[in-house]
Amino acid sequence: MSKVSSAKKENNKMAAIDIPEVHKFIETIPPFSSLSLPERKQLLTGVTMLYVRQGQTLILKDEAATVHLIRRGACEIRTPKGGLVDQIADGECFGVSSVMAQNPDGLQVVAMEDSLVYRFEKTRFMETLAQSEAFGLFFEHTQHNRLRKLSRSQSNELASPALQLSTPISHIMTRQLILATPEESVQTIAMRMTEARVSSILVVEGDKLTGIVTDRDLRSRILALGGSADSLVKEVMTQDPVNLRPDALVMQAQTLMSESNIHHLPIVDEEQRAVGMLTAADLLRHQELSPLLLINQIHRQQSIEELARVCKQWPTLIMNLIVTDMKPADVGKVLATVSDNLTRRVIELALDKYGPAPMAFQFLVFGSQARRDQSLGSDQDNGLMLEREPTEKESQYFADLSECICQGLGLCGIRLCPGNIMASNPEWRRTAVGWQQAFSTWIKSSAPSALLHASIFFDIRCVYDSGDKQGDAVNNLIKAMQLEVSKNSVFLATLTRTALASKPPLGFFRHFVLESSGEHKNQLDLKHQGLALINDLARLYGLSCKTYRAGTLDRIEQAIREKLISVDTARNLMDAWDKLNGLRLEAQGRHWQATGKASAYLDPKDLSSLERKHLKTTFSIINDVQDVAQQRFLRGYS
Amino acid sequence: MALAFMQKLSAWHLSRQSLKRAWSEWDYLVLDIETSGLDPKQDHIVSFGWVCIHKGVIELDTARHIVLDSAQIGDNVGIHMITDSDVLQQGKKQESVLRYLRHLLRERVLVMHHAPMELGFLKQAWQTEALATFSANWLDTLAIERTKANRAHQPIQDGGFRLGSCRERYGLPEYQGHDALTDALATAELLLAQIAYQGRDCRLHDLNQMGGGRVRLATR
C-alpha cells in the first residue's frame, strides 16, 4: 500500500512542472521560499522563461503585465521619461505594480545585462497572492518601496524644461540696472560697465528707455572704426531696442532673442520705463544651473556676502551634475574648477579690502581640493607660501588677509577645517624654505602617527599666485619633495603602514544582513571606509613615482606609466574609486534632498542587492590592492 | 503520381517560404536524449527530456522527463542518475513516447545540442518501432555556435562547444544536474540567447543556415 501511494505521489509530481533546476532556484528566493510545495507548484503553472538582451526594453503590458523574477542578469526599472526608479538583479522581481495596480506609472524595464527571466502567469500569481499572507505582504512592501523610489525619481524630473519655459521673465531678470544718458561719452559708460561687470548698458531719457549699448557696439562702432573715446552714447547706441514686458514668459523672451539675434533684452513697463534686463546668460542659467554660469556669477560678485548668496546654488549644481549621470571623476573636476574660481575670487575680494600684499605669495590647497575630488560639504584645507620672511607688520597683514579668505570661503559653503589646516593658522603660512623644512620633517620622521595627520599635505596644489608666476615656487617645492620621497624607501614603508592601517569594511554586509531588521541601523561611511583608503593607496603609489600628480586617478595612471603597478590592478582600483565616488555622490544627493545636510553615509536600505554585490566586490578590490602594496613597499620592513 | 509530386513540391515551396518568417512565429521542441552509449546501432535510449518554446518564450510546464521501460541501467546509473526503480515505476514504452513526440513535432521545429547524435538515435528507434515515415525541421545549437565562431573568426578550443561552455559565453547560469530534462532546458535557454545575439529580426531561415536541416525518420 505504501508502495502504491508513493508511486502515485511520483506521478503527481510528473504532472505538474517538475524541473529540478527551477525548483532549486525558486526555493531559495524570498518570498517564494515561504510557499508550501503545492503553493509553489500552483504558482509555477504557466510560468515561462525569456531571454532579454542587454539594452532591450520590456514594456509591461498585455501578457507581459505580470510579475517577473530575474534568474540571471540585471535590469533597471525606469519611468516612461527615462527616470531611474530601481536597479535589480538575480532573485529580484519586477512587474509587481503592473499586477497589483495595473502599472499606472507606465514603468518600463531595461536590461542592463543579458537577462534570463521567469515570467509568472498572472492569474496564478494573483491566486497565490490571495492565499499566502507572507507572500502578499512581501509584494506590497516591494511595491511600496518602488513607489517611494518612483516619487523620488519624479521629483528630479520636476525641473523639466517645459515647466521652466512658462516662468514669467520678472522671476529671472536682473533688476539692478546700469544706466546711461545719451549725452555721456562712451569712455565713461565703458568704465561704468567694466566696474559693474556687465556687457550692456541701458540708455534712458527722463525715465524712458531710448537705447542700449552693448560690448559688441563699443567694439564694432568705435574701436573697429578708429572712433574716439569722447564719442557720445547717442552716436553708438541702438535706438528703441527690442524689448518685452516683465509678465512675458521665458519662452517668449527666448524666441524673441533668437529671432532678433540679440543677447540683451531690456524689460520695460507700460510707460516704457526700464525695469529690468534679461541676458542670454540669465536664460541659460534659469534653464539649467551650469557650472560655467556659476563661475561667471562668482566673478561678477563684488562682496563676500554676495558671493555667499550666489554659492547657495552650489548644492543645486551638484545635484544637477549627479542627476545628469556625469561620471564621478568628472563631477570632481567640475567642482574643483568651481571651487578654484571661488577661492580666487575670495582672495581678490580680500586683497581689495586689505590692499595689495607687501610681497608675492601663493595660495595652496591640500587634500580633496588639491586632488580635485571634492563633493558636497567638503571642508577647506589650505595654506600660504610667502616670498620671504615677513616683518611683524607684514605678518599681521597676512594674518588679516588669511582670516578674511578662510572665513569668506566658509561663508560660501566650504566648511572651515576642523583640524585647523588653514591659511589663517600661522603654522601654515610659510616661506618656500619653511615649507621645504616641514616636508623634510615629515619625510624623515618614520613615526606613522606623525604621518597620519600630515599625509593630507602631500596632496598639494597652487590655486593663486599673486606674482603672475603661475605657482612656479610651489611647483619647485613639489618637485623637490617628490624627488626626496621617491628615493626614500623607509618613508614609503611608513606611508604604507598608515595606508594599510584601515581595512575596507567587508564584514559590513554580513552584519547588515543580520541586523537590518533590528534596532541597529548600520550605516556605511563611504568616505572614510572606502574612498579614503583608495586615496591613501594612490598617494603611496603616486609619491613613489618620478613625476608628481595630485589627483587619485592621475596618480594611479602615472604609476602604470612608470610600471609600478600592474595594469589590471590599477584598472580595478580606478573602477572601485569611480564606483564608490558615484555612490557617495548619490547618497549625498539623497541626504541633501531629505535633510539639507551633506552626508557621505550610506543607508543600506537604499541599496539594491545588485549594488550591494558591486559594493562588496569594490571593497574586496581595495583589500587586494592593499595586499599588493604591502608586498611592494613593506618587504623587508615589516 | 504527378499530383503527389506537385503536392510535395508545393509543400516544399511553402516550407521554404515560411522559413522567412520571424523565428518567434514558430514553435519549437527542444529535445535531449540520454542513452546507454554513443553508438545508435548497439546502444539504446534511456530517457527523453524536452521543453517547448512558444511565441519566443520557454513554456516551463511543457517540460517532460520520460524514462523508457526498456531502459537497461547497468553501469550508467552514475551518469544520468536514473535507477532501476525509476524504470519500474515510471517507465514508458518507447513506441508510445515516439508517437507522442511525432505528434508534438508535427507543428514544431526540433532543437538539439549536437544533432547528429540525437538524430542517429531517433532514426534507429524509428526503425526499431516500425513507425510511419515522418519529416521534421531541426536546429542544432552546437552547429549554430560553431558557425557563429567561424563567422567571427574566433577559434574556440576543444570542449568549447560543450553545452556548458556555450552557455557560459552567454552568461547563462551553471546547472548542477545533467539529466535529459535539465539539458533540454539548458539547450532551450542557449537557443534564446543565441537568437537574442542575432538581433530582433532573426528568422528561422537564418538559424537554419547557421545550423539546421530537415530530417526524414523512416522505417525503411
ipTM of the complex: 0.83
Query: In chain A, what residues touch B52 (CB-CB under 8 Å)?
Result: none
B10 min Cα distance to partner chain A (Å): 35
pLDDT digits over A584-593, tens only? 888 877 777 6
pLDDT at residue A10 is higher than 90: no
pLDDT tier for residue A113 given thresholds of 50, 70 and 90 = confident
CB within 8 Å: A116 and B189: yes
pLDDT at residue A537 is higher than 70: yes
d(CA B216, CA B119): 10
Angle at which helix A291-300 crosses helix A280-287, to 10 degrees, equals: 130
pTM, two decimals, is: 0.47
Q: Measure CA B117 to chain center.
A: 10
A 10 A CB-CB count for A335 gives 24
Bin A112: left if φ > 0, else alpha if -120 < ψ < 50, else beta: alpha
Q: For position A5, what pLDDT does the model report?
A: 37
B11 min Cα distance to partner chain A (Å): 32
pLDDT digits over A256-295, tens only? 887 777 889 999 988 889 988 998 877 766 655 567 667 8
- The DSSP H or E segment spanning A616 is helix A609-633
Does B174 lie at the interface with A, CB-CB under 8 angstroms? no
Check the CA dihedral B141-B146-B151-B154 and report its sign. Answer: positive
Q: Is A91:A33 a contact under the CB 8 Å cutoff? A: no
Q: For position B210, what pLDDT does the model report?
A: 92
CB within 8 Å: A114 and B61: no
d(CA A619, CA A615): 6
**What are A78's three cell numbers?**
525606469
What are the beta bridge partners of residue A70?
A117
Q: In b/e form, how buried is each residue of B147-183, taking b as 16+ CB within 10 angstroms? A: ebbeeeeeebeeeebebeebbebbebbebebbbbbbb
- The DSSP H or E segment spanning B43 is none
pLDDT at residue A511 is higher than 90: no
d(CA A18, CA A41): 8
Rg (CA), chain A: 32
Q: For position A468, what pLDDT does the model report?
A: 73
d(CA A383, CA A396): 15
Does A24 lie at the interface with B, CB-CB under 8 angstroms? yes
Q: Residue ranges of the alpha helices (H) in chain B?
A: 2-18, 77-80, 84-90, 94-105, 115-129, 141-151, 163-169, 180-198, 204-211
d(CA B51, CA B64): 6
Does A68 lie at the interface with B, CB-CB under 8 angstroms? no
Q: For position B57, what pLDDT does the model report?
A: 93
Query: In chain A, what residues touch B91 (CB-CB under 8 Å)?
Result: none
Query: In chain A, what residues touch B172 (CB-CB under 8 Å)?
Result: 72, 116
pLDDT at residue A133 is higher than 70: yes
Query: In chain A, what residues touch B196 (CB-CB under 8 Å)?
Result: 51-53, 56, 114
A 10 A CB-CB count for B63 gives 21
Q: For position B76, what pLDDT does the model report?
A: 55
Query: In chain B, what residues touch A20 (CB-CB under 8 Å)?
Result: 177, 179, 181-182
d(CA A69, CA A116): 9
CB within 8 Å: A21 and B196: no
Q: For position A604, what pLDDT does the model report?
A: 67
**Residues 6+ away with beta carbon under 8 Å from A84:** A76, A77, A78, A153
pLDDT at residue B135 is higher than 50: yes
CB within 8 Å: B196 and A48: no
Average pLDDT of the segment spanning A464-483: 88
d(CA A479, CA A284): 42
CB within 8 Å: B61 and A73: no
Q: For position A518, what pLDDT does the model report?
A: 39
Q: To the nearest whole number, what is the mean pLDDT of chain A?
A: 82
pLDDT tier for residue B59 given thresholds of 50, 70 and 90 = very high
Q: For position A118, what pLDDT does the model report?
A: 94
Q: For position A15, what pLDDT does the model report?
A: 39
Q: To the nearest whole number, what is the mean pLDDT of chain B?
A: 85
Q: In b/e form, how buried is each residue of B9-43, taking b as 16+ CB within 10 angstroms? A: eeeeeeeeeebeeebbebbbbbbbbbbbeeebeee
Average pLDDT of the segment spanning B126-139: 90
Q: Is B51:B59 a contact under the CB 8 Å cutoff? A: yes
Q: What percent of chain A has pLDDT over 70?
A: 85
A454 min Cα distance to partner chain B (Å): 47
Average pLDDT of the segment spanning A351-371: 93
CA angle A593–A595–A601, rounded 5-degree value: 90
Residue linked to cell 613593506: A634
Q: Measure CA A219 to chain center.
A: 40
CB within 8 Å: B196 and A52: yes
d(CA B109, CA B19): 11
Q: In b/e form, how buried is each residue of A164-182, taking b as 16+ CB within 10 angstroms? A: bbeeebeebbeeebbebee
Q: For position A507, what pLDDT does the model report?
A: 67
Torsion of CA A579, A582, A584, A587, to 10 degrees: -120
d(CA A539, CA A552): 7
Average pLDDT of the segment spanning A341-358: 94
Q: For position A637, what pLDDT does the model report?
A: 66
Here the contacts of A527-530 (C-beta below 8 Å, separation 24 or greater) are A527/A584, A527/A600, A528/A502, A528/A600, A529/A502, A529/A504, A529/A505, A530/A504, A530/A580, A530/A584, A530/A618, A530/A619, A530/A622
pLDDT digits over A398-452, tens only? 999 999 999 999 999 888 888 899 999 999 999 999 999 999 988 888 777 777 7
Q: Max alpha carbon distance in chain A (Å)? A: 119
> A210-224, A507-521, A568-582: which has the minimum mean pLDDT?
A507-521
